Amino acid sequence: MAIVINGKAIAQSIRDDLTVKVTKLKEKGITPTLAVILVGEDPASLSYITGKEKALAQTGMESRERRLPADSSEAQLLQLIAGFNTDPSIHGILVQLPLPAHINTERVICAIDPAKDVDGFHPMSVGNAVLDRAGFIPCTPQGIVVLLQESQIPIAGADLVIVGRSNLVGKPLANLLSRRSLNATVTLCHTGTRDLAAHTRRADILIAAIGKPRFITADMVRSGAVVVDVGVNRVPDIHAKNGYRLCGDVDYEPVGEKASHITPVPGGVGPLTITMLLKNVIDAAAALAET
């Protein structure tokens, strides 16, 4: 059976260090503060922002939440962002995605001041990341790298296969892991990939970011591979309180029999994603302290 990578424990030890940084910033009169914007009442989005706000509070930071009704106009949202952009007490701005269909997500992301773009989705942040320049790196890819490093998984030279090429996870992760400083040999797979299993089976490190429950089966995994499951899927469960339970993109038990290391869902990548958000907000506040 594979070693189960305990994302919760790794995240907690990083958060302890971040709490010290927050205390130091507070001594300088700066309380790192994140503006959190939610449009509509999507239950998954609501639970995500609650988790993020709780983590901010536990680390000594503040959040300023603004909820807009689902039928709010794009102009209203842009006006709210513009206010946060010029508010010196706000260090980071997070617009919870997905947005309602009538709002243009790209225009909204572009409206955030890149200095406060703690999600790292602004084209300026994306460009800086590709060029390996200083800037915000999206939280999930950054969290996955930390998870591998803290678990002493060798990344340099590894044959690393990512399934999923979204702008939020797969693409920035492929870019990050191909940096000279990390030196993985990255293959990025998607729905256009011919013979997906041929790629996944040769991976030293396999990362699934697909959004399909239990998609990666044991026959797609090499014996001894490290398997990182990014997927968070809600599957019906009559025994669960809410009528559903969370499930990853990996067929956990059979793959766990074959892999050397595996991340669980929940408790794997998720806690690191939130922790990297905390780190980005602290970095944004610290940058302000230096100006």
Please list the active-site residues: 52, 96, 119
Rounded distance between C-alpha atoms, residue 116 and residue 94, angstroms = 9
- Does residue 40 interact with ligand NAP by CB under 6 A? no
Question: Residue 288 is encoded by which pair of tokens?
Answer: 């302000």
- Does residue 144 interact with ligand NAP by CB under 6 A? no
* Shortest distance, position 291 Cβ to ligand NAP, whole Å: 31
**Closer residue to ligand NAP, CB minimum distance, 100 or 213:** 213
* Shortest distance, position 73 Cβ to ligand NAP, whole Å: 25
H or E element at residue 290:
helix 269-290
Contact with ligand NAP (CB under 6 A): which of 100, 211, 254, 267? 211
Half-sphere exposure of 163 (CA within 13 A, CB side): 32
From start to end of the chain, where are the E strands?
A: 3-4, 33-39, 62-68, 92-95, 159-163, 185-189, 205-208, 226-229, 233-236, 244-247, 261-262
- Does residue 278 interact with ligand NAP by CB under 6 A? no
- Does residue 188 interact with ligand NAP by CB under 6 A? no
Question: Residue 148 is encoded by which pair of tokens?
Answer: 């591998």
- Does residue 153 interact with ligand NAP by CB under 6 A? no
- Does residue 146 interact with ligand NAP by CB under 6 A? no
- Short-list 189, 193, 225, CA closest to 206: 225
**Closer residue to ligand NAP, CB minimum distance, 166 or 260:** 166
Rounded distance between C-alpha atoms, residue 138 and residue 276, angstroms = 8
8-state DSSP, 62 = E
**Closer residue to ligand NAP, CB minimum distance, 115 or 255:** 255
Only segment of 12-20, 63-71, 160-168, 235-243 that touches ligand NAP (CB under 6 A) = 160-168
Ramachandran quadrant class, 187 (left: phi over 0; alpha: psi -120 to 50; beta: rest): beta
Residues in binding contact with ligand NAP, number by CB under 6 A? 25
SS3 171: helix
Angle at 197 between CA 179 and CA 261, to 5 degrees: 60
- Does residue 190 interact with ligand NAP by CB under 6 A? yes
- Does residue 138 interact with ligand NAP by CB under 6 A? no
Query: How many helices and strands, by DSSP H and E, does the chain display?
Result: 10, 11
Contact with ligand NAP (CB under 6 A): which of 30, 49, 182, 196? 196
In the region spanning residues 228 to 247, those forming contacts with ligand NAP, defined by CB under 6 A, are 230-233
Rounded distance between C-alpha atoms, residue 276 and residue 266, angstroms = 17
In the region spanning residues 55 to 94, those forming contacts with ligand NAP, defined by CB under 6 A, are none
**Closer residue to ligand NAP, CB minimum distance, 90 or 174:** 174
Would you tell me which residues interact with ligand NAP (CB under 6 A)? Answer: 140, 163-166, 168-170, 189-193, 196, 209-212, 230-233, 269-270, 273
